[in-house]
Structure 1
């Protein structure tokens, strides 16, 4: 008998896996905070004998090197990946015994496309594939994007994705479980996962990589590629160099004077509370990135790389969870932190800032005189419909382009409210009169606002 445990990394839209038998197991594409993988192995009562990477990751810092060091496991990395540390180089067709008692073998399958060296791993029980860990190759209803390595390679890698998907579909039984790393919100995926579970057979019937000819597939894939988070530039080099162990101990405590000093120095002070609480009252100049949202993705995307960040949280638990999220994308140590209420974070005599929240119905009923409607969605989202007359600056570019927002009261919106709250906090910190539209964009048309397609 074998087991496969899924380790969700929801904030980044990824999954990691622990698979094995009665005694030993393999960890696949582990996140940087490896304690949860170790806990999963302890719960199963197994030793981690192997740690494998499907590729050098572009969207997060891996915990694979440290996990292998702590457990004494063999660290398997595709042979074609250029890395600076000792590892077991994996070639196509290599087999690794995971648990002899359970008859478990891990077989490497070269599946280039997401990266040139990408490798999938079929888990075989007594010679029959029962699951395949596909990393950024064949995903649920889609594939990993091919444009994260080198622009000149993108079309070639897109063609390779098609070939790799067909290789998996040809060589593996239809009932083989497909277990990808990406596809659950990660920008490493070319699309959102369609469901939570799939098999080779299901993908053969529905995945466009397997139902379309290569030319049509490649053309559609390239046309649908979205913006690349800026911090991805730093993830590959960090993973190739060998990430350092993480330190999740509490940061230094910042009082109101230090918070003010850090703001005055141009550092980022990030309020992790929910957007409703932030809008009602916050330290002047602070930014709002909700701890319950895609904190790591959007903070790492927007913050100038290496800029010191101070975290403000409502509780020690919220702070600890945020630290865990941030180390996964290379924001290793907050410069300082504070917990509690915003009144404790402002100096005596200083007022808290606030701004209004609204719906699209409110916008429809409001006078348009002196009002600027700011759309902070990505261009791919705006192409499907927008509010006539709205200004478009994607959220990831806004902090550099605040000066481009026209004069007037700014009603800022996104697709659901989270990014609008981030944008509102950036504008508020810049001294603008802002209203955060906390509503689903589907409500815009129902509210009577003119929505056209480009």
Structure 2
């Protein structure tokens, strides 16, 4: 009897898989922190015989090479991927024995990348699961625009063809196990639901219900912004990522924190946005450890900039380190735990700013106060509606465009509060008066604020 264990990387919106039989297993698209994978295999009592990549990843640093070297597993990489380390190239139709009666069959599914390969798990000759990587996702497909702009439309058409190949080859009950689609920006849209099958996708996935031209037009029109750090992930994976070091970083005292801030380095406070707003080290930035830390910190920080982490407990620092190595931020320059007063020199006072709801903004506007409303959502989100008169600068562009924010008190909002907190910390560090709107955007209209909806008619 086969098994499939899912390893979630929630911060990146990805999944990895450990699949096998009583004695041996294969790992598909492993995360960089391979100790999790090794522990999962140990719980199952199986040997990791193979490590398989569906494609050269653009959104995270793979742990595949390190895992293969650590366990002695055979490292399966699509033959078309250009990599500079020893591996076993896999071509369409190749079959790999995993355990007795258990076979992994490679299926070329280009689209997310030109060399993308899915793997079909067969038990006693019967397909039971398909590891589809960035090809067929839950209700969607992997985006085709991460490789080369001139290839985007061609790859979009390849996605359509690959989805149909999977659906035409596999029975309805075969499980679909994608890597992307659970919050990852590698997905062309986000998954609705937690599990799916070929049959379910045949009914609901645009790639399988629309003709190629309509599908491609809709896919290309809906593509979102690409995180800036993606440009570094492919080259890192092609050259062969080094093993990670998750040992605690050196401890920074108040003098060192002040020195690093003065040098223009980033000091990142991992506490929740409520605690940060109430009191923090002046000049520090707020990226909640419980939010999409890896995605947004890697997206916004100048690549290679030293970062110091602040948190309430050592466990929070350790969790952040694990998240950050997955996107190539390998070692914090330093870290400190405790409370803001312990991170500041004698005589320094914590900085703070107020939080509010959209109802508070409506009240302020109703009194005739002239305030700046800053919307830091992405353009695709704003296209669905925005507060009239608001200024739009997406959070991933704000740090470089602070000078464009009009004078006055800035009420900053996003869709739910997390990105507004990041933006508020940038503005606060720049000396601006700021109010962080910690509220769902749907509450704006409910509070009586005029919301423009560009797509509305009639």
2:363 counterpart of 1:365: yes
- Distance in 2 (CA, whole Å) between partners of 1:420 and 1:113 is 34
Distance (whole Å) between structure 2 residues aligned to residue 206 and residue 283 of structure 1: 49
**Any residues of structure 2 matched to 1:165-314 within 5 Å, and which?**
165-314=163-312
Q: Which portions of structure 1, spanning 4 or more consecutive aligned residues, are displaced by more than 4 angstroms?
A: none
1:333 paired residue number: 331
Determine helix, strand or coil for the equivalent of 1:435: strand
Q: Are residue 20 (structure 1) and residue 26 (structure 2) matched?
A: no
After superposition, what is the alpha-carbon deviation per residue over 1:333-377, rounded to whole angstroms, capped at 9, x for unaligned?
000000000000010000100000000000000145331000000
Inter-partner Cα distance in structure 2 for 1:62 and 1:370:
49
CA–CA distance in 1 between the matches of 2:4 and 2:221?
Answer: 35
- Alpha-carbon deviations, 1:179-238, whole Å to 9, x = none? 000000000000111110100011001100000000000000000000000000000000
Query: 2:415: which partner in 1?
Result: 415
Shift in CA distance, 368/403, structure 1 to aligned 2, threshold 3 Å: farther
Distance in 1 (CA, whole Å) between partners of 2:316 and 2:406 is 36
Q: CA deviation at 1:453?
A: 1.4
Separation (CA, whole Å) in 2 of partners of 1:69 and 1:313? 34
User: Partner of 1:111 in structure 2?
Assistant: 109
**Is 363-372 or 343-352 further displaced after alignment?**
363-372
Q: Which whole-Å CA distance do the structure 1 matches of 2:197 and 2:413 have between them? A: 38
After superposition, give the CA deviation of every residue in 1:374-411 in whole Å (9 maximum; x if it has no partner).
Answer: 00000000000000000000000000000100000000
- Structure 1 residues 411-450: aligned runs within 5 Å: 411-450=411-450
Q: Shift of the alpha carbon at 1:297? A: 0.2
Q: How does 1:60-71 map to 2 (within 5 A)?
A: 60-71=60-71
C-alpha RMSD of the superposition: 0.5
Distance verdict in 2 for CA 1:368–1:79, change over 3 Å: farther
Classify the secondary structure of the residue corresponding to 1:12: coil
Cα offsets for 1:52-109 (capped at 9, x unmatched): 0000000000000000000000000000000000000000000000002xx0000000
Q: Secondary structure at the match of 2:11?
A: helix
- Give the equivalent residue in structure 2 for 1:55: 55
- 1:301 alignment partner, SS class: helix
The residue correspondences of 1:314-329 to structure 2 (distance < 5 A) are 314-329=312-327
Partner of 1:408, secondary structure, is: coil
- Counterpart of 2:304 in 1: which secondary structure? coil
| Structure-1-length-normalised TM-score | 0.99
Name 2:145's counterpart in structure 1: 147
Gaps of 5+ in 1: none
Provide TM-score, normalisation by structure 2: 0.98
Partners in 1 of 2:163 and 2:448 — Cα distance? 45
Counterpart of 2:323 in 1: which secondary structure? helix
* Matched residue SS, 1:11: coil
